[in-house]
Amino acid sequence: MIANQSENTSQAYIRRIFHTFLILLTYVFVSSFSLTGFYRLPRIYASEVLFVNMVDFLHLRLILGAALLLLIVNYVKFPRSALYQTITWDNVQRLPDGKSIQLRVPMTLLVGGFAWTMVAYDYNFYYDQAYYLDRLLLALLVILVYVNPIFVSLFTLQFVVLEHQSSAPGILYGGEIDKALPLAVLSVFSAWIFLRPFLKSPATTFLFSVLCITIAFYFVAGIAKLYLDDDPLAWLRHNELHALFVASYLNGWLAFLDRQTIIEIARVLGYFSRVLAFMTLIIELGGLFVLFNLRLTTAWLLVTIGLHIGIFLSSGIFFWKWILMDLIIFYWVWQYREDVRFLFSKKLYGVAGIVLVLLSPFYVRAPLLGWFDTRFTTTYDVEAVMEDGDRCVIPRLDFAPFEISFAQNRFWYLMPESYLVGTYGSTDRREIARLLEEAVSADDIAAVRLASGRNGYDPEQIEELKVFLTRYFDNRRDGFWLSFIHPPYHIHSMPRNGCDLENQTVERVEVRYHEFLYTEDEILTVTDRIVLEVPIAVEEGD
């Protein structure tokens, strides 16, 4: 028996679906407030303790206040209204028929994985802070999450506060793509916990909400690809996924291989480019239709994990947090399939899910993962020049927690001439992709630049970058004691001539600009020049 009789009525189904709408509406409120651009204020991150300063912001006080109020009501003994139900893991896991769905361990595992990314993250040399108390608070909140689900909201708040140290106002903004889906699930869980004392919605309603949000994230990524051009199938017909593989190599992925090997692998991938593009769209958009079948849903979740593994192998971009989230949802759906089967057998839920997913671009903070991969790639490498004249490339990972900004190569403001592509040779303009597809020489690139280039030159941002590099190297010290347990990076990029700056004196830092053109048979170097010099003269290891 899946559920008791009251749970198996049309009225109960409609009520649960209405609760889902309320949960997602509250999710919008929570995520919008907790992710507001407070992190753009450098005065906050120059302090030793972030959380104490962050509570000065009204929107953060509202979320903090709501969570603390629930805790007070939960643990202080006084007469409660019949409309209110105490929040404990046992209560929120229990279904109307007396069974339970295990939420405590998976949610603790999720926040534990997230905490790992921040507790063991690199020292912030730009702000010259380790934020030890904030790291300790985040680790403590993992334990408290295991004690009571209310602490998930406080954990999410502290994580966002700590994570946004990876932004340097004016020039570097830490990417949130790799954390976006798990953060959304944490926000949905917080919204459900805030409402549950009054709605008394069971864990199955939370799982349905999480499924809708997860499917929405992939759906938005697929829609973004369809909206790149007036022709919705332009990405499917013309995108060159094998060019992304070459661009990733030029940015430091699989650096141990030689260029000829990379070209041969790319040539093989090119034969399957259309098939891979088609499979990607099917996976991203196909989630819209799996809610009518439990087996399809579990299969889809496993396929999304396979998609992320394929992305990692071909580009070095590792969505391990999304994989963790997909695995947890798979566990919930498969382990408790008899308890959640009604979510897939009742067409009312499937229709409601489709509506929520179709409307998701208006309320979900999902990344728009749509662009054309081209054969033209630009890189910006930061090089250290020593007192004796030796030079080496500083690995982008050494700039953590700003490593994503350096890996994404969005420094076109250094260039007085127009730029054509963004990260890893990507562009959102079909015309540029078409012209670059036909280019075979430096003269062809110059013609495309003249016809379709964009000018991003910005002297103010150049000065900000100089300040960043100067401050970073002034504060830089060898090693950080937590680095030995560092979690996997989101973008893996290692230069072929990487630096070992230990006990070295860096005289100046230079930014070297490269342009590469992949022509199926070879990789041409179109441009190789220094575009920025910053004097440092700091003794490393002092």
| pLDDT tens per residue across span 193-207 | 888 877 888 999 999
From CA 361, how far away is CA 346, in angstroms rounded? 25
- Under the banding of pLDDT at 50, 70 and 90, the label for residue 8 is low
Of the candidate ranges 207-221, 281-295, 328-342, 472-486, the one whose mean pLDDT is the lowest: 472-486
Any bridge partners for residue 378, and if so which?
515
* pLDDT band for position 541 (cuts 50, 70, 90): very low
* Whole-number Å distance between alpha carbons of 87 and 101: 15
- Tell me how far CA of residue 249 lies from CA of 146, 378, 438, 532, in angstroms: 42, 12, 21, 24
Let me know how long the chain is: 542
How sure is the predictor about 3, in pLDDT bands with cuts at 50, 70 and 90? very low
> For 282-286, which contacts have Cβ atoms below 8 Å and span 24 or more sequence positions?
283/218, 283/307, 284/218, 284/219, 284/221, 284/222, 284/225, 285/218, 285/219, 285/222, 285/223
The Cα 482–Cα 484 span in angstroms is 6
Tokens of 73: 């009501």
Tokens encoding 292: 């009518």
Q: How far is CA 300 from CA 171, 188, 306, 345, in A?
A: 38, 21, 10, 17
Q: Which residues pair with 499 in a beta bridge?
A: none
pLDDT at position 73, please? 64
- pLDDT level of residue 163 (50, 70, 90 thresholds): confident
Residue with tokens 């709501």: 66
Which SS3 state, helix, strand or coil, does residue 519 take? Answer: coil
> DSSP per residue over 243-259, as a string?
HHHHHHHHTTTTTTS-H
Is 294 a residue whose pLDDT tops 70?
yes
Is residue 175 pLDDT above 70, yes or no? Answer: no
* pLDDT tens profile 104-150: 999 999 999 999 988 888 888 888 888 888 899 999 999 999 999 98
- Residue 113 vs residue 158, higher pLDDT: 113
Query: Could you tell me the sign of the dihedral formed by the alpha carbons of 358, 361, 363, 364, in that order?
Result: positive
**Cα(420)–Cα(453) distance, rounded to whole angstroms?**
5
Q: Say what the pTM is.
A: 0.89
More confident residue, 346 or 62: 346
Confidence of residue 164 (pLDDT cuts 50, 70, 90): confident
**How would residue 429 be classed by pLDDT, with cut points 50, 70 and 90?**
very high
Contact 150, 112 (CB under 8 A): no
Of all residues in the chain, what percent carry a pLDDT higher than 90? 47
**Across the chain, what does the average pLDDT equal?**
85
Tens digit of each residue's pLDDT (9 = 90 or more) over 455-466: 989 999 999 899
Task: Quickly state the pLDDT bin for 426 (edges 50, 70, 90).
Answer: very high
3-state secondary structure of 19: helix
pLDDT of residue 169: 63
Query: Residue 386: in which H helix or E strand, if any?
Result: strand 376-386
Q: Which amino acid is at 366?
A: A
**H or E stretch at 537:** strand 523-539
With a pLDDT cut of 70, the percent of the chain lying above it is 83
Please tell me the number of Cα atoms within 13 Å of 278 on its side-chain side: 5
User: In whole angstroms, how far apart are CA 33 and each of 36, 58, 187, 484?
Assistant: 6, 9, 11, 34
113 in Cβ contact with 104 (< 8 Å): no
The pairing of strands 505-518 and 372-373 is unpaired
Burial of 542 (0-12, 13-18, 19+ CB in 10 A): exposed
pLDDT of residue 158: 85
Judge contact between 219 and 285, C-beta under 8 A: yes
Predicted local distance difference test score (pLDDT) of residue 103: 96
* CA distances for 389 relative to 68, 504, 506, 508, angstroms: 58, 12, 10, 10
Give pLDDT tens digits for 498-528. Answer: 677 676 778 889 999 999 999 988 999 999 9
The Cα-based distances of 424 to 35, 143, 247, 362, 429 in angstroms read 27, 40, 5, 28, 15
The sign one gets for the Cα dihedral 23, 29, 30, 35 is: positive
488 upstream amide cis, omega within 30 of 0: no
